[in-house]
Amino acid sequence: MKTPQKIGFVGLGKMGFPMAGRLAGAGFALTVFDINRDVQQRFVSENRATAAGSLSEVAQNCELIITMLPDSKAVRAAIIGGPQEDGLSVLMGPGTILVDMSSSAPLATRELGKQLAAKGIEMMDAPVSGGVPKACNGTLAIIVGGTQEVLECCRPVFEVMGDRIFFSGPLGSGHAVKALNNMLSAAGLVAAIEMLLVGRRFGVDPKVMNDILNASTGRNNSTENKIERYVLSRSFSSGFSLDLMVKDLDTAMELSRELEVPAIFSNCCRELCAAARQSLGKGLDHTDVARWFEGLAQIRLGD
């Protein structure tokens, strides 16, 4: 299989915009589509790319199509379509490749893959980790589920967007690992916030304590990359929303239930994050969860 040169990119959100920009900058023949036509137009004005008027136009012109959408329902709607608009799969020919780089539900991905396989369409899931900054500089971690053959065909495409590409196993495994990773990441954030609040009540400066944690066994991604930058600074601007974090935690818990693996601690973490979202409202950064814990403790971590 040859590396596809004609690429379609569906979904130009906070992550999709810079990821597609990397592909345009690398010289691929790129066709983009987003339901927000203002965003789509801004992208083509800033990058060498073609704006598609419909999903059908993307499917007609591309060998490889990447979806970067909010959830599995949006992905399925874009691929399968509905009463008002044909999905991508209607006009994708046999041998074309569909890569879902969204944070989708792994069991839904498996089912979707079966439907596409019946049409001769190859599907891979390739969710990413690293956030907006790494999407911009092309250093994302990309977790690929599918077949090794299709991965190698698409590797040059992935290498433009990420510097670490992992083959996780069969279709859906990338989405499974991504959801489980985000659960672990959320647990680290929640634990760090709680311990810093206890330390602050005792009289330890949160920045000093965070520095100590980062030199000790308690360090994690949140203490190293989020606490000082987004919580203590009060910017709460990591670029990953609390809404999406709760969605990913729901996905992880759904998977644990389907596979009948108890995840008691993880479920508690999910409940806490969901309660924070319910209390704080929608549209906030996931690091805003710290404000909810501060409210419970009546302690403020940052100045």
Percent over 90 (pLDDT), the chain: 92
> Is the pLDDT confidence value at 84 over 90?
no
Confidence at 85, pLDDT banded by 50, 70, 90: confident
- The predicted pLDDT at position 2 comes to 83
Q: Above pLDDT 70, what percent of the chain?
A: 100
Q: Using one digit for the tens of pLDDT, what is the confidence trace for 90-111?
A: 889 899 999 999 999 999 999 9
Can you give the pLDDT at residue 82?
76
Look at residue 121 in the predicted model and tell me its pLDDT: 95
Q: What is the DSSP letter of 301?
A: S
pLDDT at 83 over 80: no
Return d(Cα 57, Cα 66) in angstroms, integer.
14
Q: Is 301 exposed, middle or buried (0-12, 13-18, 19+ CB in 10 A)?
A: buried
| 107-161: pLDDT as tens digits | 999 999 999 999 999 999 999 998 889 999 999 999 999 999 999 999 999 999 9
Model-level pTM? 0.91
pLDDT at 4 over 90: no
> For the segment 37-49, what is each residue's pLDDT rounded down to a tens digit?
999 999 999 999 9
Active-site residue among 134, 178, 226, 247? 178
- Examine the residue annotation and report whether 282 is marked as an active-site residue of this protein: no
Q: What is the pLDDT of residue 86?
A: 81
Pairing of strands 50-51, 64-67: unpaired
Q: What is the Cα–Cα distance from 163 to 172, expressed in whole angstroms?
A: 21
Q: In one letter, which amino acid is 163?
A: D
